[in-house]
Amino acid sequence: MSMSDTPVHDQVSGRADTLSMSVDSGKRKTIVMKFGGTSVGTIDRIRIVAQRVKAEHAQGRRVAVVVSAMAGVTNQMVGYCAELDPLADPKEYDAVVASGEQVTSGLVAIALQALGVPARSFQGWQIPLVTDDAHGKASIDGVDGTELLKCLDNGVVPVIAGFQGIGPDNRIATLGRGGSDTSAVAIAAAIHADQCDIYTDVDGIYTTDPRIVKRARKLDRITYEEMLELASVGAKVLQTRSVGLAMREGVRVRVLSSFSETDDDSGSIVVDEDEIVEKELVAGIASSHDEAKLSVRRIPDRPGIAAAIFGPLAAANINVDMIVQSTGVDRMTNMTFTVGKSDEAAARAVLEKAHGIIQYGELETSHNVVKISVVGVGMRSNAGLAATMFGTLAERGINVQVISTSEIKISVLIDSEYKELAMRALHTAYGLDKKEEPST
């Protein structure tokens, strides 16, 4: 189920009355600080987080904090559930896996109180952050910011358990992996925060993975659309749903490191396109290994082939990404497409079951592929960017198996062994390389 069409801040009950409680709320900057699992992974790191929050609070800012579970805890909880029953009741599963954030929110509140900062913890249901009933991967239907705003108006820091809310069945519901980012953006929208700061183990958003391309550059600013595309095709810095929500609600999101000194100019900020004066033709390059390629070959060419293939896959809740269709002189059609790696076996089973309807001659699957995507708002007005991509890959003998495009993205599927070569070559071809430091 998708996010409700009604803006989150419009769903906040008692909004006007609550805002009128504070005479200076319009003068003081309101920020949401979200800390991921590595940032709160130990008691020492929780103390560091508390010091960061205290520093912001001491500047007179209204601060709300959203936390993930301590690193490794959610995986441990998932493992416990799987050990007892691989098909555990999703509602009980959520009750278990949401416990990590509950612990962290309480610990951070205690750490703040120990530093003399008034703080109190909130679970998702106490706000409440209301979700639909899709336990394990719920979407947010609304956030009531009343209690959070009371805390802020009284100088108290609310410390909120991310990743969780309450469903229509009055049960805890979790938002899926990376859901704490989405929680933070939804909270920021509900309290009309000036900014949502996402603290993580990297110091910003880069043009590509700096572990692969040493000359990757950190971006000071990137548009919502570019970040949404990058997140959807493999960039791990921000969760896709959080970026989509930030774009709809107009929440400024900043990514910065919790392991280095920061100030108001640190990190990378995700903003509306109108806020960026000089736009890059290409913002970044991302890769995704979560791809499996399926080729359905030698299908008699006739109307309804695509429906016969993709209808059963959709009914099995298997998402199809890249698609290419070709018909030979023998009037036989080949259909190649990608699904998530975890869906490869299920997709094959669905197609084998539908063999009598599709009447294909051969079914091939491969997971030794990688999707490489080039993203940038400049693609709207520069037709040469696609030619640059294909020419660069061709020069290095890299075969393109499947292509898909959007208004600001070009994705290609290639053999996984060429991933690093392709990313480095494309990064240079689009002028994204960091300039060499002058020698001394």
| Count of structural domains within the chain | 2
State the pLDDT at residue 327: 84
State the pLDDT at residue 12: 38
Instruction: Report CA 430 to chain centroid distance, whole Å.
Output: 25
State the pLDDT at residue 438: 56
Distance of alpha carbon 261 from alpha carbon 238, whole angstroms: 21
Shared-domain flag, residues 193 and 300: no
> Is 402 within a domain?
no
> Is 221 within a domain?
no
Shared-domain flag, residues 168 and 23: yes
Backbone angles phi, psi at 411, to 5 degrees: -120, 140
Of 186 and 235, which is predicted with more confidence? Answer: 186
> Is 123 a residue whose pLDDT tops 60?
yes
Burial of 378 (0-12, 13-18, 19+ CB in 10 A): middle
- State pLDDT tens for residues 23-32: 344 468 999 9
Shared-domain flag, residues 162 and 48: yes
> Is 247 within a domain?
no
> Is 18 a residue whose pLDDT tops 80?
no
Give percent of the chain with pLDDT exceeding 70: 92
Beta bridge pairs of residue 201: none
- State pLDDT tens for residues 311-323: 999 999 899 999 9
| Whether pTM exceeds 0.95 | no
> Is 4 a residue whose pLDDT tops 60?
no
User: Which string of b and e fits 220-233 if b means at least 16 CB within 10 Å?
Assistant: ebbbbbbbbbbbbb
> Is 164 within a domain?
yes
Residues 6 or more apart whose CB falls under 8 angstroms from that of 334 comprise 295, 296, 297, 298, 299, 325, 326, 327, 328
Shared-domain flag, residues 17 and 155: yes
State the pLDDT at residue 437: 61
Distance of alpha carbon 182 from alpha carbon 170, whole angstroms: 20
Distance of alpha carbon 107 from alpha carbon 374, whole angstroms: 41
Residues 6 or more apart whose CB falls under 8 angstroms from that of 404 comprise 321, 322, 323, 410, 411
- State pLDDT tens for residues 241-295: 999 999 999 999 999 998 888 887 889 999 998 887 767 789 999 999 889 999 9
The DSSP call for residue 318 is P
Mean pLDDT, to the nearest integer, of 319-339? 89
> Is 10 a residue whose pLDDT tops 70?
no
Contact by Cβ (8 Å): 110, 67: no
- State pLDDT tens for residues 71-118: 999 999 999 999 999 889 999 999 999 999 999 999 999 999 999 999
Give percent of the chain with pLDDT exceeding 90: 73
State the pLDDT at residue 253: 96
Asked which of 158, 181, 201 is the last residue of a domain, the reply is 201
Shared-domain flag, residues 62 and 187: yes
Q: Residue 61: which CATH number?
A: 3.40.1160.10
Shared-domain flag, residues 72 and 186: yes
Distance of alpha carbon 341 from alpha carbon 97, whole angstroms: 24
Shared-domain flag, residues 188 and 308: no
State the pLDDT at residue 27: 65
Q: Residue 302: which CATH number?
A: 3.30.2130.10
> Is 143 within a domain?
yes
Asked which of 201, 223, 257 is the last residue of a domain, the reply is 201
The DSSP call for residue 380 is G
Contact by Cβ (8 Å): 4, 138: no
> Is 271 within a domain?
no
Output the six-digit token pair for 235.
Answer: 């960039």
Shared-domain flag, residues 296 and 162: no
> Is 372 within a domain?
no
Contact by Cβ (8 Å): 165, 124: yes
State the pLDDT at residue 440: 52
Contact by Cβ (8 Å): 46, 40: yes
Shared-domain flag, residues 45 and 184: yes
Asked which of 314, 332, 366 is the last residue of a domain, the reply is 366
Output the six-digit token pair for 159.
Answer: 């410390």
- State pLDDT tens for residues 170-213: 999 999 888 999 999 999 999 999 999 999 888 999 999 999 99
Shared-domain flag, residues 76 and 190: yes
Q: Which domain holds residue 154?
A: 8-201
State the pLDDT at residue 309: 95
Shared-domain flag, residues 13 and 160: yes
Q: Which amino acid is at 417?
A: E
